[in-house]
Amino acid sequence: MIICEVLDVTPYELLSGAEHTGNRSRDNNTYVISKETEIGMLVETYQKLDTNAQKRLIGYLEALKELS
């Protein structure tokens, strides 16, 4: 989910390569993803980290976002 937020895409767009078209709102705050996908694996791994490691990871992602 974090990757989707950073890239400003939906999980469907990320996994399928399809581009978002239409006028539907992108303000959805909830996604359903399968644990068997790479994104699901990332989320599950993130949840297993302690709070400090989660904060560091978010910091790394924000730094990567600034490089883009």
The tens place of each residue's pLDDT in the chain, 68 residues long, gives 888 888 888 888 888 876 655 555 556 677 788 989 999 999 999 999 999 999 999 999 999 999 97
pLDDT computed for residue 17 by the predictor: 73
List CB contacts of 12: < 8 A, sequence separation 6 or more: 18
Count of CB atoms within 10 A of residue 54's CB?
Answer: 13
pLDDT computed for residue 44 by the predictor: 93
d(CA 58, CA 44): 15
Does the model's pTM come out above 0.75?
no
